[in-house]
Amino acid sequence: MTIDPQMQWVLQLVANSSLPPVYTLSPAAARAQFDEASVKLDIDPAPMDSVVEIALGRESRFVRTRLYTPRRTGPIPGGPDPLLVWLHGGGWTIGSLHSYDRTCRGLAAQAECRVLSVDYALAPEHPFPAAVEDVLFVWETLLARTADYGIDPARIAVGGDSAGGNLTAVLCHEARKAGLPLPCFQLLIYPATDMATSSPSRKAYASGYLLEKPLLDWFRSGYIRDVANDDPRLSPLHYADFSGQPPAAVHTAGFDPLQDEGIAYADKLAAAGVPVVKRHYAGLTHGYFNMGGIVDAARAAFDDAAADLRAALHPGLHPDARSASASD
């Protein structure tokens, strides 16, 4: 494999940077650094019809969320609207509504859906299973409030990158186990699915490709406390039953330590009869989803994800119309 030249430039930029490695910082400082750095490589912010902060919950428990409503264009009819519940990446430790603002705007605009970005509890202050519990709480609460927000309950997708991809997979399995309605689609961007196995890709790309082993270890040590690594709520590749899972798109990157477990997860879904779109970007690294403003191949991969989401949420739309609208 050959790394994308623009991706290689980003790696060189990071190597020459004076910024300290994230894993040497306090959690608060790491979050602030990531929030500032993440938007510098990302796509331009798409204009929205509205962006609203919502404390989603009931009784005494609430989770902060942000609801994006895109400007209506093209052949998509009016509401109730399809929705993507977005779970951001960042090793369950960093990442925020701010650092994924442009991601959510881009997905909302291109897929012509609303996006609910979830500010789930972060480690190490809130270790496993706090993030899982927050995500499931949001899912249950949202299902009871779809009419309040003008959301079509039959067209709610869930997606996320890295740790957010992990939480997306876990949500789908746990919702099925609990007998809750499932998302209509799951979008998994280089998901972390196996904390119990040291795969070949985790060894091959442990250094020099952004998600380095010391960073993975730092995320792991803050998130995992007194739990077996193969607990499926931590390592969804270890769920016993993959049947009945929502249709999925699983995107992986060639220079990513998590690529093997992402591919293995897609294969398990497919083996269970779940419809799966598998997309592999051989020249990209982990983290490309926030680099579309400077890496052309990353922007193309982001556009593919938006197209996968759009196809799932607008199944009745003619393919030609879908393609034309996405390019506007």
Residues identified as active-site: 162, 256, 286
Question: How far is Cα 55 from Cα 217, in angstroms, rounded to an integer?
Answer: 32
Cross-strand partners of 158: 85, 186
Strand boundaries in 203-259, DSSP class E: 248-255
Q: Are 55 and 62 spatial neighbours (Cβ–Cβ below 8 Å)?
A: yes
Q: Tokens at residue 270, please?
A: 């497919």
Question: How far is Cα 171 from Cα 133, in angstroms, rounded to an integer?
Answer: 9
Distances (CA, A) of 18 to 8, 33, 194: 18, 12, 32
Of 118, 252, 255, 243, give the one whose Cα is nearest residue 188.
252
Q: Hey, how many other C-beta atoms are within 10 angstroms of the C-beta on 19? A: 10
Q: Hey, how many other C-beta atoms are within 10 angstroms of the C-beta on 135? A: 26
Question: How far is Cα 254 from Cα 288, in angstroms, rounded to an integer?
Answer: 11
First-last CA distance in the chain: 33
Q: Are 264 and 238 spatial neighbours (Cβ–Cβ below 8 Å)?
A: no
Q: Are 322 and 314 spatial neighbours (Cβ–Cβ below 8 Å)?
A: yes
SS3 at position 322: helix
Single-letter amino acid code for the residue at 40: K
Question: How far is Cα 16 from Cα 294, in angstroms, rounded to an integer?
Answer: 17
Question: How far is Cα 164 from Cα 258, in angstroms, rounded to an integer?
Answer: 13
Q: Dump the DSSP string for 9-35.
A: HHHHHHHH--SPPGGGS-HHHHHHHHH
